Structure 1
Amino acid sequence: MSNRTIFQFFHWYYSPEGNLWNHGRDEAGRLASLGVTDVWLPPAYKSAEGVDEPGYAVYDLYDLGEFDQKGTVRTRFGTKAEYLGCIAAFHEHHMNVLADIVLNHRMGGDEKEQVTVKNVNEENRTEMISDAHTIDAYTRFTFPGRKKKYSDFIWNWHCFTGTSENGSIAVILNEYGNGGWEDVLGKEFGNYDYLMGNDVEFRNPYVREELKRWGVWYVQTTGIDGFRLDAVKHINPGFFPEWLQYLKAHFQKDFFCIGEYWKSDVQMLLNYIDATGGMIRLFDVPLHFNFYDASTKGENYDLRTIFDNTLIKERPDLAISFVDNHDTQPLQSLQSTVDFWFKPLAYALILLREQGIPCVFYPAVYEARYAGPGGNEEAYIELNKVAALEKMMVVRKDLAYGMQRDFFDHPNTIGWTREGTDEKPGGGCAVLLSNGGEGSKNMLVGERHAGKTFVDCCGGRPEKITLNEKGEGTFFVNAGSAAVWVPG
């Protein structure tokens, strides 16, 4: 079986001109040649902000760029026909497509309703700071541009647990929660059910049934193969297993599923895995923060501890590793961009080891350039390609198989080897990383490589290393860099 590699084919500030779906269609062959097996596409449905936001401010889940709503027919990324064409192109190149599923909230309601609410303390949302009172809120969604095509379900205040009143969070006194939030695992702010907009009420059985119907429609319409689930820590952990089981029963197949639980404490991720019966893989957010920390501390970071407090270490079977994503890039509220010098090391750590499934971020291959703070077009943010990343991706595809031997025996120079397998002829590699000065290490690759010559495919080192009769040799790495040695 070949190694699995996910590619996040967008970033937050990708151009609003509507060409992403066509771009994906055109790049399918290239990504397949790099060993990408799964492509994660951004939200494809109409945003409350039209083309000015990348789809997380959800308005209409059924509008994939088909109806004139919120000032546009297409979404930020293109039309429905272009979206379906993009998916078809990835399928033609034998890649799976993961859809970004945002079910936590709705924004941009069509009509106001009289809604009874109580305001809550922002720092402790279980504490009510007002008596019950009535507000006019945009909680009624009729989707007039769609005219009930695909679904005649009308969202109203019974479908939401909370909303925002003049910037203040208010819990809605509906019949399902008796004025209380849903039970979620995280206890930040007392209860972290509410994130933004109109918070969806999953205790409402009509809401759950509508979302199941939509899920069936979406899979049938698009042919997607799996899901990236947004903001799962803000949703009762019982919902998604129920939703996924419904889809599995309907289509008689399992769907590859990744959840975004944004927390650097690995125990919280493990709690969510337990609560959802291991049905949902999770992004290894703690590992990302280890990368971020290591990139800022330089040689003062002990590389031997890089996997401490991570999902890769605790549950590698359910870990999706990544270096950066759309939430961590500059100007985002969760900005924690890994320093550029460390990115090759971080990508080597997620691409060339046995544990976890790696996810590569769009700018690392295609670059990104966008306006700076406040939309200042004279102070652009630039995210550059990561040196040798494409070569590492090909090594993952072709060579990074078999027994893994770790040489994590120095705070600034660590390495590992992959022996290769009979099923992957010519496989095997040796990886050496340094966050300090130039380094070297004697490492065993395996007897199958006895007498073979290895070269650094990243191009940093000129040596040709001939392994001894045991299949071991001394490998080198430049200061603050990664060297990936492969049979030459």
Structure 2
Amino acid sequence: MKKPNFRFFVFGAALAFFYSCETNESTDIDTKAQSEQFEVINVTTHDGQPFSTGKKSSSTGKYVANPGGGVMMQAFYWDVPAGGNWWNTVNTKLTDWSNAGIGSVWLPPVSKAQNGPFSMGYDPTDYFDFGDYNQNGTTETRFGSKTELVSLITKAHAENMQVYADIVINHNSGGQSEANPFTGTNTWTNFTGISSGKFKRSAANFYKNSFGNNDEGSFGGFPDLCHADPYVKDWLWLRADGVGKYYKNTMKFDGWRFDYVKGFGPWVVNAWNANVGGFSVGEYWDANVNTLEWWANNANSSVFDFACYYKMNDAFDGNNLNVLNDDMMWKRNPYKAVTFVSNHDTDEISGKMLAYAYILTHEGYPTIFYRDYEEWLNKSKLNNLIWIHNNKATGNTSILYTDNDEYIARRNGYNGNPGLVVYLNNSDTWQERWIQTNWANTQIKDFTGNSTWYPTTQGDKWVKIQCPPRGYSVWSINQ
């Protein structure tokens, strides 16, 4: 889902969110590493049973060997400055992001769209115009030229970072009017004159057509691309010079963020992944964890953890940290869960630092939002949490304590890494708790620096820790 950016349609949508939750005091997660994305590491749970976990693996991932598995940067926000300089802006930040521990960058849709120099890219016209053809009133896209985009991707790879493309394949926009034999009217479905000359489309390639009246969903009155059409399949993911393989093999993208996947069946992303490869995550905007898991399994893809997002909003803005016991996608399968605090579409959580402390110490693939990092929040504190994620956030999760104001969880560690204990405090006063760690007779410290305590655990692994008001602390072995 995204905010539509177009001239001829006005779209309003009401979203209904359904929650599926189960309350448990201790959540120990036993998952299987996914093919192509993870290398399997054999470790042992706290009760001595073996299980498989993994580290995110890629040819360009700087933090392949690190316990946390990586952090993604959403490198844009809605209505970034127009004028064709955004790719250059991002390029100048890549070295600092890489040094901070960010391992991947998610870019907005990169091809020419209907609204030309003002478009955020979610109204695509020509998938092969990256800012090098004069159409839709501009040569460059809102973000810049093809040369500048290639320079950004090349620089990211030099910094050992991956680059993910935002893929919009539910709908198109900017076609010419044509007589449509399937509707008996004129429709804006003639894309035969696109400047790149690649993946020309007509009314036969959009619903309603010879393949049926509709698929899972349409968006905003835009022509709804028909993925059941062999011609569309061929151009999107089958042919060597089609969209997917051109983006991966020529433009050198490493993965994909699929936009508005509610609009088509999960088999589409599954087929893309099988034929193109690379990391993938889908925007299935729904708080029902059963639905998220269903989509991720059938698409063979990661999915944004909207269940986690809305639970964090309830917890940190609603003063009810007990809801963090509820079910979320990262608890079902952390290897298919991409967690986030805000993005270009939704920014509901006001207790953001607590939310970032949560996703950067827990399982899943955490995403940092550009404006949170560069403009709105404390960058040093976020960098500290990214370091903790990459170096300490290991193993499965046990929830140790919750009430309305407090939440304490333990990452149980693996492969010699000791893991951590995270303490979140949403009250107005300092809090202290006795908790059980994984460490006996061991000095620990708060790696955020929010507490100056250096306590030593008892022989039975119990210790008292503290947490500042409206804040967090993260404890691990003092080494």
Q: What range describes the TM-score normalised by the shorter chain of this pair?
A: 0.7 to 0.9
C-alpha distance after superposition, 1:78-121 (max 9, x if no partner): 11111111111111111111111111111011x21012566xxx
2:388, 2:402 → 1: CA distance? 24
Q: Are the counterparts in 2 of residues 406 and 415 from structure 1 also a CA contact under 8 Å?
A: yes
Q: Are the counterparts in 2 of residues 446 and 470 from structure 1 also a CA contact under 8 Å?
A: no
- Taking a change above 3 Å as real, the CA distance of residues 140 and 52 of structure 1, as seen in their structure-2 partners, is same
How much does 1:27 deviate?
1.7
1:142, 1:307 → 2: CA distance? 53
2:345, 2:193 → 1: CA distance? 29
2:267, 2:102 → 1: CA distance? 32
Partner of 1:131 in structure 2? none
2:218, 2:189 → 1: CA distance? 17
How much does 1:456 deviate?
5.0
Partner of 1:39 in structure 2? 105
Matches within 5 A, 1:18-167: 18-109=84-175, 111-116=176-181, 134-146=184-196, 148=197, 151=198, 153-161=199-207
For 1:257, which of 280, 286, 292 is the aligned residue? 280
Indicate the SS of the match to 1:14.
coil
Whether 1:357 and 2:380 are equivalent positions in the alignment is: no
1:307, 1:56 → 2: CA distance? 36
Q: Give 2:211's aligned amino acid.
A: Y
C-alpha distance after superposition, 1:278-316 (max 9, x if no partner): x11110011111122223322xx1x23215132122232
- Taking a change above 3 Å as real, the CA distance of residues 307 and 69 of structure 1, as seen in their structure-2 partners, is farther
Indicate the SS of the match to 1:105.
coil
Whether 1:446 and 2:438 are equivalent positions in the alignment is: yes
Indicate the SS of the match to 1:359.
strand
Matches within 5 A, 1:255-404: 255-276=278-299, 279-298=300-319, 301=320, 303-329=321-347, 337-339=348-350, 342-353=351-362, 355-367=363-375, 383-385=376-378, 388-402=381-395, 404=397
1:306, 1:196 → 2: CA distance? 38
C-alpha distance after superposition, 1:368-414 (max 9, x if no partner): xxxxxxxxxxxxxxx44477222101111122224644312433211
Aligned-residue CA RMSD (Å):
2.3
1:428, 1:243 → 2: CA distance? 36
2:146, 2:325 → 1: CA distance? 41
TM-score, normalisation: structure 2: 0.79
Q: Are the counterparts in 2 of residues 64 and 80 from structure 1 also a CA contact under 8 Å?
A: yes
How much does 1:195 deviate?
4.7
Which structure 2 residue ranges, 5 or more long, are not aligned?
A: 1-64
Higher normalized strand content (fraction of residues): 1
- Taking a change above 3 Å as real, the CA distance of residues 80 and 307 of structure 1, as seen in their structure-2 partners, is farther
Q: Are the counterparts in 2 of residues 265 and 309 from structure 1 also a CA contact under 8 Å?
A: no
- Taking a change above 3 Å as real, the CA distance of residues 389 and 315 of structure 1, as seen in their structure-2 partners, is same
- Taking a change above 3 Å as real, the CA distance of residues 58 and 221 of structure 1, as seen in their structure-2 partners, is same
How much does 1:345 deviate?
1.4
Percent identity over the alignment is 28
Matches within 5 A, 1:413-432: 413-418=406-411, 420=413, 424=417, 428-432=419-423
Whether 1:201 and 2:194 are equivalent positions in the alignment is: no
For 1:239, which of 263, 268, 278 is the aligned residue? 268
1:460, 1:422 → 2: CA distance? 28
Q: Give 1:465's aligned amino acid.
A: P
Q: Are the counterparts in 1 of residues 74 and 106 from structure 2 also a CA contact under 8 Å?
A: yes
Partner of 2:211 in structure 1? 176
Q: Give 1:351's aligned amino acid.
A: L
Runs of 4+ aligned residues of structure 1 deviating over 6 Å after TM superposition are: none
Q: Are the counterparts in 2 of residues 405 and 444 from structure 1 also a CA contact under 8 Å?
A: no
